[in-house]
Structure 1
Amino acid sequence: MTNQLDVLQALRQTRHDWLNVMQLIKGNLALKRYDRIEEIIHQVTQQSICESKISEIQAPSVVYFLLTYNWFSNNIKLELDVAGEVFSLENKEVQLLRLCEEITEKLTNDCTIDTENNLLITFLFTEEYCEVTFDFQGALQKKVDWQRFKLERESIVNLVEWNEQECVLVARFARS
């Protein structure tokens, strides 16, 4: 029964998301803002392509987390980007899921709720590795101890940038 309820919830949320897109198109059509309509269609197309690519990493718990994150979180809007030739991250699934959950949780706990907060997670696939970049833009209340976080993660995470409006972390997973 739970599986059926999960499917129904996914269909309900997807329908809601598509209705929002249609409302944006309809509103811009009424305003004769055709350039904005093209931009909306381009954004939705790119998002769909990224969601399709991320679904190929063969790490279902990670894919589920990433694709449903915005359904359950109101503090941070998560966006995805995928570049390169996707390969399996099946053997890194647990580690990658934990990393995604912990970073999003730390950022959610540290961000202000009166500001628009965005997290772009980029998967860059190369011949040797998959580099995952967490690029947060918004407002942070305090500095998270990312050095300790990094040590706890066996140094796979590097802090690239941090200030009150931005936090960029990069993790690298070798191709197996």
Structure 2
Amino acid sequence: MSENWTVVEMLRHTRHEWLNRLQLIKGNLSMGKTEQAKRIMDEIVQEMQQEALLSNLKLYRFAELLLTHNWKGYRFRLEYEIVKGQDNLRLDDQLLTDWTRGFFDELNRVSLPINDNILYMAIEPENDAVRFLFQFHGIIENEPELKNWLFCKEAYPDHVTYKQVSENEYQIQVLFCLE
């Protein structure tokens, strides 16, 4: 999964995404489903607000990783939320990006590809740390390998917890202390 995006490639993906959304809105309006069209527009507004909050964290590599994730053919779709808006988190952008990319790659490797897998990620800044709450809805084929990857990291992140909530729902909480 190459990450050497050119400006033209980024614009192509963005244009494709927006055209799909506009076609959804237009199709719903043409069928008289104005409430559905309004719901789609509200979702777009919320997503754009989250993108703005993500960009304001001043973690540019990390933001790029999240913003382009769903274009890369992973076995799971990513949704994220910045729980509290805060500018300029004092985290090492490269370390955070490398860890998150590694986590995404490992989750991609152990998740079942024929399922509609979704990873929901909440980012919650605290006084002296940032809490990342990952909720994975889908099928994990090799849970021991994922756990091994999560807990083998000695220095970064600072703390990890893992819990299987139900048959196809997993919760992973990761804590990164601020610099």
Normalization by structure 2: what TM-score? Answer: 0.86
- Answer whether contact 1:140 1:164 (CA < 8 A) is retained: no
Q: How does 1:12-161 map to 2 (within 5 A)?
A: 12-89=12-89, 91-154=91-154, 156-161=159-164
- Answer whether contact 1:75 1:113 (CA < 8 A) is retained: yes
- Answer whether contact 1:85 1:126 (CA < 8 A) is retained: no
The superposition leaves residues 81-112 of structure 1 with CA deviations (integer Å, 9 ceiling, x where unpaired) of 11113242354223311221122112211222
Report which of the two has the higher share of helix.
1
- Answer whether contact 1:120 1:134 (CA < 8 A) is retained: yes
Report the Cα offset of residue 7 of structure 1: 0.8
List alignment gaps of at least 5 residues for structure 2.
Answer: none
| Mean Cα deviation higher: 149-158 or 80-89 | 149-158
Report the Cα offset of residue 66 of structure 1: 0.8
- Answer whether contact 2:50 2:81 (CA < 8 A) is retained: yes
Cα RMSD (Å) of the superposition?
A: 2.0
Secondary structure of the corresponding residue to residue 145 of structure 1: helix
Q: Where does residue 175 of structure 1 map in the other structure? A: 178
1:165 to 150, 168, 171: 168
The code of the aligned residue for 1:132 comes to F
CA distance in 1, matches of 2:141, 2:165: 12
Aligned residues: 172
Q: Percent of aligned pairs with the same residue?
A: 23
Normalization by structure 1: what TM-score? Answer: 0.87
Q: Where does residue 11 of structure 1 map in the other structure? A: 11
CA distance in 1, matches of 2:137, 2:127: 29
